[in-house]
């Protein structure tokens, strides 16, 4: 993550505010910053979404490819996450600088979506054992302002909601190789995915005894430890992670409190995100992208 | 694509333009708050984001400082979803490295580097959607981002790519300005020219694709230069609009009184 230089005085100021449940921008410890969501920005992709969480900006695109299913799961499709930290966000991401962070984030997202409950991969199967869909989920990080993984998970869920997979039919088979035909877009034969159970990841930063939801970059620089929890809409936790070098005391109540708070916040975030996506899909506003 | 002609019998291109028409250019400056300067530019369906950091101290690689001027560093990157076939690597491949070098060359001649000795200016470009003339769009977006960052330039750097439609039915081959993806890939030469329009100088010229006969170079190059000058008019208008907006915002918030 981009390094923020904070003086001791600034850190103390943030700490004192958090003790009184007031943060630098006036939020309470469990409030999110304003989130902007836009679907369908990338025309080349089957589905896309842009999430803007204050000054964290993430663009997620989903592209579908036909692939052979893995031998362990012959009747399931695949999800492949790829994260690209653009140098636009910070000069440290130039060249291969952002690769380590990108790999970590991609691995975290893969784990969050690993359970069959969050995303049913069998809907991606075309012909059992022979052909399946592979969804390539590509995340482009344009600006880092804290809560990066939260924005990425929201973007992924929204992009999956925006994704339409063309319907496939088999038109011929010949000696073990199949010929598949993709229905034309003009035909209107595209099916949406079942994205409703996809998880949202929530990051909680621990500052003394308080837990901060959606920490800004400055607050993240003060916090000793963080906890990332993937929460699906039915209150289930799909993954947890403690990034960086922080730690939680094993017998303190902070950890349990953190998990409970994360599930709480996660469920509310999922509901709000679903509502926003539905609103976007019904109203269908003209795409503005970066021009507004 | 049998039967797809670059120029129809009515003189229209594949996307309905005339040979000397540019695509619609929309742009915005100051898109992000983190970089010192940023810009977003759309040339038709080609969408590019540019971010500029600098001038700042050279931290890691002290050997890259020049004692008398700034060190310019450009990076060209294409998002993996920018092309219709998904790209494996956003940057670091040969072609991107070549683009980096070309961009370095262009901006070293356009930026007034003598004003910032021992410093470094970073220009990062991200192509979100590639629909032809990607390099030219990047140069134009980078110019806007540099202006947004307040870095002094000798002039606007405007870039345009032109091609030559093969002759049809006895008519001479027609040069066409601002190529899109279809025109780029159908074969045919692509002349990419970056100029400082008001100083009437060419900072970069590159010919790719098939060969171009000597007698055709002049008309095609002239088309590109005119295209670049037209683009400058668009960029100039955008910059003035942006500055007027910023001034207005400052006045409204009461800061104008101090200046």
Q: What is the pLDDT along chain B (259 residues), one digit of tens a residue?
A: 335 677 777 788 888 888 889 999 999 999 998 899 999 999 999 999 999 998 998 877 778 888 899 999 999 999 999 988 888 888 888 989 999 999 999 999 999 999 999 999 999 999 999 998 999 999 999 999 999 999 999 999 999 999 988 877 777 888 889 998 988 888 788 999 999 999 999 999 999 888 888 988 999 999 899 999 999 999 999 999 999 999 999 998 876 555 4
| Residue B114 maps to a domain | yes
> What pLDDT, on the 0 to 100 scale, is given for residue A122?
83
Residue owning tokens 């920005």:
A41
In a domain, B206, yes or no: yes
Categorize the per-residue pLDDT at A152 as very low, low, confident or very high, splitting at 50, 70 and 90. Answer: very high
ipTM tops 0.85: yes
Note the Cα A274 to chain centre separation in Å: 14
What does the pLDDT look like over A42-86, one tens digit per residue?
A: 888 889 999 999 889 999 999 988 888 888 888 888 899 999 999
Instruction: Take residue B173 and report the two structure tokens written for it.
Output: 């081959």
Residue B18 lies in a domain: no
Does residue B2 fall inside a structural domain? no
Write b or e for each residue in A101-130: b if 16 or more Cβ atoms lie within 10 A of its Cβ, otherwise e. bbeebbebbebbbebeebbebeebbbeeeb
Q: Rounded to an integer, what distance in angstroms lies between the CA atom of residue A156 and that of residue A160?
A: 6
User: Could you tell me the pLDDT band of residue A185, with boundaries at 50, 70 and 90?
Assistant: low
Structure confidence at residue A167 (pLDDT): 80
Residue B52 CB-half CA count within 13 A: 28
Domain count, chain B: 1
Place of tokens 């810009």: B39
Query: Percent of chain A scored above 70 by pLDDT?
Result: 93
What pLDDT is stored for residue B119 in this prediction?
93
Contacts with B74 from chain A: Cβ below 8 Å: none
> Nearest 10 degrees: CA dihedral of A149, A236, A80, A244?
40
pLDDT value, residue B14: 87
DSSP-assigned beta bridge partners for residue A146: none
Of all residues in chain A, the one with the smallest CA distance to B92 is: A95
In chain B, residues with a C-beta closer than 8 Å to the C-beta of A81 are none
The residue behind tokens 């992709």 is A45
| Residue B257 counted as domain residue | no
Say if B40 falls within a structural domain.
yes
Predicted confidence (pLDDT) per residue in A252-261, tens digit: 788 888 889 9
Q: Are B1 and B186 within 8 A, CB to CB?
A: yes
Q: Which domain holds residue B208?
A: 25-234
Contact A63 B53 (CB under 8 A): no
CATH assignment of the domain containing B90: 3.30.230.70
Residue A1 has pLDDT above 50, yes or no: no
Quick one: how many helices (H) and strands (E) in chain B? 4, 9
Digit-coded pLDDT (tens) for A76-121: 888 999 999 999 988 888 888 889 999 999 999 999 998 888 888 8
Cβ A143 vs Cβ B32: under 8 Å: yes
Contact A88 B42 (CB under 8 A): no
Q: Is the pLDDT of residue A5 over 90?
A: no
Q: How far is A254 from chain B (nearest CA, A)?
A: 33
Q: What is the pLDDT of residue B93?
A: 87
Residues 6 or more apart in contact with residue A278 via CB below 8 angstroms: none
Q: How far is B51 from chain A (nearest CA, A)?
A: 5
Please compute the mean of the pLDDT values over residues A172-188 and round it to a whole number.
65
CB contact under 8 A, B34 and A87: no
Report the pLDDT value the prediction gives residue B1, as an integer from 0 to 100: 37
Alpha-carbon distance B242 to A212, whole Å? 37
Note the pLDDT of residue A55.
Answer: 85
Give the E-state strand segments of B168-222 in sequence order.
Answer: 174-177, 189-196, 201-209
State the pLDDT at residue A175: 63
Domain membership of residue B124 (yes or no) is yes
- Peptide linkage before B55 cis (omega within 30 of 0): yes
pTM of the model: 0.90
Once rounded to an integer, what is the mean pLDDT over residues A124-146?
88
Q: What is the pairing mode between strands A210-213 and A56-67?
A: unpaired
Whether residue B245 lies inside any domain: the answer is no
CA dist., res. B12 & res. A291, Å (int): 29
pLDDT, chain A, mean: 86
B88 in contact with A at a CB cutoff of 8 Å? no
| Best B38, B79, B84, B92 residue to mutate vs chain A (most A CBs within 10 Å) | B79
Band (pLDDT 50/70/90 cuts) for residue A184 is: low
Write out chain A residues lying below 8 Å of B45, CB-based. 43
């Amino acid at each position: 993550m981009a390094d923020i230089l904070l003086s001791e005085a600034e850190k103390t100021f943030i700490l004192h505010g958090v003790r009184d449940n007031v943060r630098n921008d006036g939020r309470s410890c469990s409030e999110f910053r304003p989130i902007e969501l836009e679907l369908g920005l990338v025309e080349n992709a089957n589905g896309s979404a842009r999430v803007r969480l204050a000054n964290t900006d993430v663009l997620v695109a989903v592209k579908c490819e036909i692939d052979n299913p893995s031998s362990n799961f012959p009747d399931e499709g695949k999800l492949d996450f790829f994260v690209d930290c653009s140098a636009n966000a910070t000069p440290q991401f130039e060249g291969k600088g952002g690769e380590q962070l990108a790999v970590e984030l991609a691995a975290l997202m893969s784990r969050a979506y690993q359970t069959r409950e969050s995303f049913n991969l069998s809907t991606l199967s075309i012909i059992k054992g022979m052909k399946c869909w592979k969804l390539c989920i590509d995340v482009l990080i344009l600006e880092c302002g804290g809560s990066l993984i939260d924005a990425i998970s929201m973007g992924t869920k929204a992009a999956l909601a925006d994704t339409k997979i063309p319907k496939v039919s088999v038109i011929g088979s010949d000696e073990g190789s199949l010929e598949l035909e993709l229905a034309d877009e003009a035909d209107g034969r595209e099916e949406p995915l079942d994205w409703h159970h996809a998880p949202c990841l929530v990051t909680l930063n621990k500052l003394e005894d308080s837990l901060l939801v959606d920490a800004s970059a400055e607050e993240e620089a003060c916090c000793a430890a963080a906890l990332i929890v993937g929460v699906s809409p039915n209150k289930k936790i799909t993954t947890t992670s403690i990034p960086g070098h922080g730690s939680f005391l094993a017998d303190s109540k902070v950890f349990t409190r953190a998990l409970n708070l994360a599930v709480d916040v996660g469920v509310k975030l999922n509901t709000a995100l679903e509502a926003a996506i539905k609103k976007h899909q019904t109203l269908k506003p003209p795409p503005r992208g970066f021009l507004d | 694509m049998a039967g797809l002609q670059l120029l129809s019998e009515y003189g229209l291109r594949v996307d309905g333009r005339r040979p000397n028409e540019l695509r619609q250019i929309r742009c915005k400056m100051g898109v992000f708050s983190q970089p010192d300067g940023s810009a977003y530019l759309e040339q038709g369906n080609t969408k590019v984001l540019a971010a500029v950091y600098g001038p700042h101290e050279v931290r890691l690689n002290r050997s890259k400082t020049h004692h008398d001027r700034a060190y310019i560093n450009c990076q060209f990157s294409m998002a993996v979803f920018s092309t219709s076939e998904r790209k494996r690597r956003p940057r670091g491949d040969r072609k991107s490295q070549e683009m980096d070098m070309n961009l370095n060359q262009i901006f070293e001649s356009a930026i007034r580097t003598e004003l910032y000795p021992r410093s470094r200016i970073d220009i990062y470009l991200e192509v979100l959607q590639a629909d032809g003339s990607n390099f030219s769009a990047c140069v134009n977006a980078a110019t806007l981002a540099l202006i947004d960052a307040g870095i002094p330039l000798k002039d606007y750097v405007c870039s345009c790519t032109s091609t030559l439609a093969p002759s049809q039915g006895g008519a001479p081959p027609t040069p066409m300005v601002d190529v899109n993806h279809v025109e780029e890939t159908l074969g045919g030469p692509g002349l990419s020219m970056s100029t400082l329009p008001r100083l009437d100088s060419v900072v970069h010229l590159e010919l790719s694709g098939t060969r171009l006969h000597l007698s055709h170079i002049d008309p095609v190059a002239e088309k590109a230069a005119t295209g670049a000058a037209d683009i400058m008019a668009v960029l100039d208008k955008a910059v003035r609009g942006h500055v007027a907006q910023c001034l207005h915002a400052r006045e409204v918030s009461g800061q104008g009184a101090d200046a």
